[in-house]
């Protein structure tokens, strides 16, 4: 059996290719939209992808299952479990609890595991060439390493009302009746790792076992003692903020993500050519430099989204494809880098990328307004905007600051004062720089960034106390 894990650090998202080497057939579970990576891996191993499926209607990224099935000419399998509100709106072969997908000697058995979402299924994988019992469970957003999928996203991101309580109870039952009945040796390969907003304390290691989770996971004792209420309370406590774009992901994944097909090449802009486009307002420019370089000089009207491991996530905070916006031009090292960034944007449904530029030499720039911690009190009527999570804010905050998660600001601009000074901050400065660039691009004047962000302010406070 060929078993390949694909992992995106940005979304902390895992997908899997499972192949039968005897027949040269393969299946992919929970793919992203850059279908070529799976097709390339299959071809490298002399295999053909014949089946594509996913564990549930995702919230944190735009599914590539439909894309890959079309590109590979493979059968598409979709869960038809759950309630009527969460049925797929496009064609695929329906999967129910106990159904099997056969890939040569390999069998993927669907197990209905509601809790994170009503339609969620996991897959028990049996390699028939060596065993007659499953040795792997692909758990999607059901069981993570050391944690569980959050049951509140339908409330937080998809317009549900109090579905979190139903979901938490379903999660308890799925653990008790489906997961804990499995042999301890069964490997657990989840859909997300540390850093994902689909849980609150995901482990950083890629996999676990049923035995390890039932022994050491925080939830295991509650389930063993059949203490459903204590389990529900603990599961729902302290869940992180859900970015607003999660709601768009849910809607698009339910209805059917647009197919990308063969994408056209990206136009390589010269700086002068891009400058003209910027002055005319004909492009949306994304500056992908590091924070330090950006703070020395920002392109007026540009969005700042560092091209690191949070690129797609932060881009989805400041670009809403459901609103009108000009075609995107990226700052990139070269054409290959630009195509990689375009792929990452496609993970969150931002598809309108037309070109790239490799240098900002000769393009107009202006200093980014900043405020030092010691001068913060001197800013008259300052609106102090903390874009960290509510959990971070509760652990410590600047007096009179207002907390609004960075992934929610674009959808709540009417809550912010347009004619007053706004000072943004996060923990160290990167997230707030992203949000502040969007505010300036949206017409907010007087937006400044707090030097050193919350960590800088806290250090300054400690220094003042030490000098007294």
On the CB side of 418, how many CA atoms lie within 13 Å of its CA?
Answer: 7
CATH topology of domain 2-255: Metallo-beta-lactamase; Chain A (3.60.15)
Q: Residue 226: its pLDDT value, please?
A: 97
Q: Residue 198: phi, psi to the nearest 5?
A: -85, 0
Per the structure block, which two tokens stand in for 431?
């997230």
**Secondary structure element (H or E) that encloses residue 215, with its range:** helix 210-216
Residues 35, 70: Cα–Cα separation, whole Å: 9
Q: Are 398 and 387 in contact (CB under 8 A)?
A: no
Nearest to 249 by CA among 115, 343, 156, 171: 156
The CA–CA distances, whole Å, from 466 to 246, 461, 462, 463 equal 44, 9, 6, 5
Residue where the block lists tokens 């905050």: 397
CATH topology of domain 267-357: Oxidized Rhodanese; domain 1 (3.40.250)
**Predicted confidence (pLDDT) per residue in 16-38, tens digit:** 999 999 999 999 999 999 999 99
Q: Residue 466: its pLDDT value, please?
A: 67
pLDDT less than 50: residues of the chain: none
Residues 250, 157: Cα–Cα separation, whole Å: 8
Nearest to 452 by CA among 278, 291, 322: 291
Q: What is the CA radius of gyration of the chain?
A: 24
Q: Are 186 and 210 in contact (CB under 8 A)?
A: yes
Q: Residue 200: its pLDDT value, please?
A: 67
**Predicted confidence (pLDDT) per residue in 312-330, tens digit:** 999 999 999 999 899 999 9
CA angle 202, 57, 434 (to 5 degrees): 60
In this chain, the answer to whether the domains covering 2-255 and 370-467 adopt an identical fold is no
Q: Residue 159: its pLDDT value, please?
A: 73
How big is the chain, counted in residues? 468
Residues 255, 63: Cα–Cα separation, whole Å: 11
Tell me how crowded residue 229 is: count the other CB atoms within 10 A of its CB. Answer: 11
Residues 404, 52: Cα–Cα separation, whole Å: 38
Residues 55, 78: Cα–Cα separation, whole Å: 8
Q: Residue 464: its pLDDT value, please?
A: 72
Q: Is 179 left (phi over 0), alpha (psi -120 to 50) or beta?
A: alpha
Q: Is 58 exposed, middle or buried (0-12, 13-18, 19+ CB in 10 A)?
A: buried
Q: Where are the alpha helices (DSSP H) in 288-417?
A: 291-296, 311-318, 335-347, 390-395
Per the structure block, which two tokens stand in for 273?
């050519």
**Predicted confidence (pLDDT) per residue in 373-387, tens digit:** 999 999 988 999 999
Domain ranges of the chain: 2-255, 267-357, 370-467
Q: Are 450 and 377 in contact (CB under 8 A)?
A: no
The CA–CA distances, whole Å, from 442 to 318, 366, 416, 435 equal 10, 17, 12, 11
Q: Residue 63: its pLDDT value, please?
A: 98
Per the structure block, which two tokens stand in for 106?
């390999």
* Bridge pairing between strands 284-287 and 402-403: unpaired
Residues 372, 11: Cα–Cα separation, whole Å: 32
Residues 411, 456: Cα–Cα separation, whole Å: 28
Residues 355, 224: Cα–Cα separation, whole Å: 55
Domain 370-467 has CATH 3.30.420.480: no
Q: Residue 36: phi, psi to the nearest 5?
A: -65, -30
């Amino acid at each position: 059996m060929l078993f390949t894990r694909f992992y995106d650090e940005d979304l902390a998202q895992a997908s899997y290719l499972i192949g039968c080497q005897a027949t040269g057939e393969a299946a992919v579970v929970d793919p992203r939209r850059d279908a070529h990576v799976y097709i390339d891996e299959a071809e490298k191993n002399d295999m053909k992808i014949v089946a594509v499926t996913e564990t549930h209607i995702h919230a944190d990224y735009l599914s590539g299952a439909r894309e890959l099935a079309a590109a590979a000419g493979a059968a598409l399998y979709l869960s038809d479990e759950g309630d009527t509100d969460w049925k797929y709106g496009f064609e695929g072969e329906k999967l129910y609890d106990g159904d099997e997908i056969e890939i040569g000697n390999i069998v993927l058995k669907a197990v209905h595991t509601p809790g994170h979402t009503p339609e969620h299924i996991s897959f028990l994988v049996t390699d028939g060439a060596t065993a007659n019992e499953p040795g792997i469970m692909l758990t999607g957003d059901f069981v993570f390493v050391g944690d569980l999928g959050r049951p509140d996203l339908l409330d937080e991101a998809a317009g549900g009302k109090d579905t979190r309580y139903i979901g938490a109870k379903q999660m308890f039952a799925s653990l008790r009746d489906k997961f804990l009945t499995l042999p301890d040796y069964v490997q657990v390969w989840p859909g997300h790792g540390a850093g994902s907003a689909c849980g609150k304390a995901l482990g950083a290691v890629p996999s676990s076992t049923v035995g390890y989770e039932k022994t050491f996971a925080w939830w295991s004792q509650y389930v063993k003692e059949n203490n459903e209420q204590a389990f529900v309370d603990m599961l729902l406590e302290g869940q992180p903020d859900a970015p607003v774009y999660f709601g768009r992901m849910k809607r698009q994944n339910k209805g059917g993500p647009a197919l990308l097909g063969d994408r056209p090449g990206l136009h390589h802009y010269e700086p002068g050519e891009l400058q003209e486009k910027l002055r005319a307002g004909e492009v949306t420019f994304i500056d992908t430099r590091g924070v330090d370089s950006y703070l020395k000089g920002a392109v007026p009207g540009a969005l700042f989204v560092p091209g690191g491991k949070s690129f797609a996530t932060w881009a989805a905070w400041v670009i809403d494809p459901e609103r009108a916006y000009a075609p995107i031009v990226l700052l990139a090292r070269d054409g290959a880098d630009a195509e990689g960034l375009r792929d990452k944007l496609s993970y969150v449904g931002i598809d309108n990328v037309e070109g790239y530029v490799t240098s900002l030499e000769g393009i107009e720039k202006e200093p980014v307004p900043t405020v030092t911690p010691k001068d913060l009190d001197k800013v008259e009527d300052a609106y102090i905007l903390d874009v960290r999570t509510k959990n971070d804010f509760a652990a410590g905050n600047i007096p009179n600051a207002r907390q609004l998660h960075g992934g929610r600001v674009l959808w709540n601009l009417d809550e912010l004062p347009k004619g007053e000074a706004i000072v943004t901050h996060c923990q160290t400065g990167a997230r707030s720089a992203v949000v502040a660039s969007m505010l300036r691009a949206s017409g907010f004047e007087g937006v400044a960034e707090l030097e050193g962000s919350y960590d800088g302010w806290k250090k300054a406070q400690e220094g003042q106390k030490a000098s007294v």
